[in-house]
């Protein structure tokens, strides 16, 4: 992980974090019709089966033992899901709400968020990560492919609408 950032579990209902989520919503709304956006709202992100992460700039003024976290610059979540037909009955984690503020991109923060989500899944005893993203989100597609995700078929009741791309990755400790 880039040393100038801290990634940790936080609540999604903080004003600064909600502003990042609104930016992501606005971006997705400009790319796709509403029925093609499969967005978890803030209340859903606080559900017991969701692990929500926030990336923050490290605070250079923080002392030893201090939380040392500054401005929120990225978000990521994973929803723990029961097995289903599309996964051969295997439990999985669904990656959701991945976002890095545009000014912070290119610093490997997205890859660090993905790695932290994967570590969270392994800690939960889940060895399969799946996600749905939009075909027009070329930066996201490149990120997931660089992180080892491979295209797969739909899961979780998502429609195969021609706008979505589905990815999965088998995780190992």
Predicted TM-score (pTM) of the model is 0.91
Lowest mean pLDDT among 53-67, 114-128, 140-154: 53-67
Q: Taking the CA atoms of the chain, what radius of gyration do you get in angstroms?
A: 16
- Name which of 74, 58, 83, 52 is nearest 143 in CA terms: 74
Domain count, the chain: 1
Distances (CA, A) of 159 to 46, 85, 153, 163, 166: 25, 15, 10, 9, 10
The string of pLDDT tens digits covering residues 33-79 is 988 899 999 999 999 999 999 999 986 554 444 455 799 999 999 99
* Residues spanned by the domain of 165: 5-170
Length of the chain: 173
CATH number at residue 88: 3.40.630.30
Residue 168 DSSP class: E
């Amino acid at each position: 992980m880039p040393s100038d950032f801290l990634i940790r579990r936080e609540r999604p209902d903080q004003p600064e974090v909600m502003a990042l989520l609104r930016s992501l919503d606005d971006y997705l709304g400009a790319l796709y019709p509403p029925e093609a956006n499969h967005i978890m709202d803030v209340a859903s992100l606080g559900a017991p089966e969701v692990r929500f992460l926030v990336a923050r700039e490290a605070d250079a003024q923080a002392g030893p033992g201090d939380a040392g976290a500054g401005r929120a610059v990225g978000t990521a979540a994973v929803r723990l899901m029961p097995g289903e037909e599309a996964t051969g009955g295997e439990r999985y984690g669904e990656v959701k709400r991945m976002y890095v503020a545009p000014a912070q991109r290119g610093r490997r923060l997205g890859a660090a968020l993905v790695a932290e989500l994967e570590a969270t899944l392994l800690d939960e005893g889940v060895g399969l990560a799946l996600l749905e993203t939009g075909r027009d989100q070329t930066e996201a597609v490149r990120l997931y492919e660089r992180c080892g995700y491979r295209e797969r078929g739909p899961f979780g009741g998502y429609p195969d609408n021609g706008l979505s791309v589905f990815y999965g990755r088998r995780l190992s400790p």
